[in-house]
């Protein structure tokens, strides 16, 4: 394994994490990501380049705006570091050697940018915008198509069945609950998981999503004074499930099947 490439993927992941933070903020404020300089969300002062160095600027400024001294959300360094670690871990997992693996890696990294952005937005607004979901689905279709080209559709029959069952189950829950159990964005997210994960990875990912979601939901419910009507977005847990399945799904499934 090339140590230099490991740090390169970590570095570029951190850079993309910084971009994700800016992208989500601009979408929230109906601004174009391609126009205008970065600014402080509070005082609107245009930020200099040395205010925008991922992780380092936050540490040097001690988490405060250089100009208005308002506290900067910890979301910024957390997302930067998390995206960097996801990029690095995905590279280590796939360990690409040929064109097929490098193309797979590029697709999953592009999907990672979209999913991390979706995670932030859904956690804050309980919505999975199409601007994140539709490109991720297209990338997932390309990923599956490339696998079919190299392996043949017969080798992917189990994945196609898993994709169909997962999406149909989510669609049924959305339809019969009239959108109260989950939203249309969650169905799209289910499709992304089914397109990119093998059957074993998908099963582990689904289990992890529901497990983490249930623990979080119960915690919120116990802390809430309302006791009823507490709404929790499910998208972030599906995204956590996706990476659990991607990174550990095959190993966990094989370990579990060893007991049967």
Residue-by-residue pLDDT tens, the chain, 260 positions: 688 999 999 999 999 999 999 999 999 988 887 777 888 888 888 888 788 889 999 999 888 988 898 898 999 999 999 999 999 999 999 989 889 889 999 999 999 999 999 999 999 999 999 999 999 999 999 999 998 988 888 888 989 999 999 999 999 999 998 888 888 999 999 999 999 999 999 999 999 999 999 998 888 777 766 556 667 889 999 999 999 999 999 999 998 888 76
Whether 109 maps to a domain, the answer reads no
127 and 89: one domain? no
Q: What's the pLDDT tens digit per position in 107-143? A: 999 999 999 999 999 999 999 999 999 999 999 999 9
234 and 134: one domain? yes
Number of domains in the chain: 2
Global model pTM greater than 0.85: yes
Whether 106 maps to a domain, the answer reads no
Task: Name the domain boundary from 95, 124, 157.
Answer: 95
Residue keyed to tokens 């933070």? 21
Q: Which of 133, 122, 77 is nearest to 237 (CA)?
A: 122
186 and 232: one domain? yes
Taking all residues of the chain, what is their mean pLDDT, rounded to a whole number? Answer: 90
133 and 245: one domain? yes
Are 234 and 216 contacting, i.e. CB atoms less than 8 angstroms apart?
no
Domain of residue 2 covers: 1-95
Q: What's the pLDDT tens digit per position in 142-155? A: 999 998 988 888 88
Q: What is the pLDDT of residue 178?
A: 86
123 and 11: one domain? no
Task: Name the domain boundary from 46, 62, 95.
Answer: 95
Q: What burial class does residue 163 get, using C-beta atoms within 10 Å of its C-beta: 0-12 exposed, 13-18 middle, 19+ buried?
A: buried
27 and 88: one domain? yes
């Amino acid at each position: 394994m090339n140590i230099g490439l490991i740090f390169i993927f970590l570095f570029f992941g951190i850079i993309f994490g910084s971009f994700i933070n800016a992208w989500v903020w601009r979408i929230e404020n109906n601004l174009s990501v391609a126009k205008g300089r970065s600014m402080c969300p509070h005082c609107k002062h245009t930020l200099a380049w040395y205010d925008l160095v991922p992780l380092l600027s936050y540490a040097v400024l001690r988490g405060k705006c250089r100009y208005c001294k308002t506290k900067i959300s910890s979301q910024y360094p957390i997302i930067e570091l998390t995206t960097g670690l996801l990029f690095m871990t995905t590279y280590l997992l796939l360990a690409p050697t040929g064109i097929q693996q490098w193309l797979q890696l590029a697709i999953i990294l592009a999907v990672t940018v979209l999913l991390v952005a979706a995670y932030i937005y859904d956690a804050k607004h309980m919505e999975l915008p199409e601007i994140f979901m539709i490109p991720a689905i297209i990338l997932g279709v390309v990923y599956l198509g490339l696998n079919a080209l190299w392996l043949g559709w017969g080798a992917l029959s189990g994945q196609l069945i898993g994709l169909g069952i997962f999406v149909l189950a989510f669609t049924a829950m959305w339809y019969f609950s009239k959108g109260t159990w989950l939203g249309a964005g969650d169905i799209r997210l289910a499709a992304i998981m089914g397109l990119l994960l093998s059957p074993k990875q998908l099963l582990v990912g689904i289990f992890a999503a529901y497990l983490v979601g249930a623990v979080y939901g119960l915690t919120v419910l116990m802390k809430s004074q309302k006791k009823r009507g507490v709404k929790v977005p499910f998208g972030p847990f599906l995204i956590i499930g996706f990476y659990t399945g991607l990174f550990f799904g095959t190993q966990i499934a094989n370990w579990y099947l060893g007991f049967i």
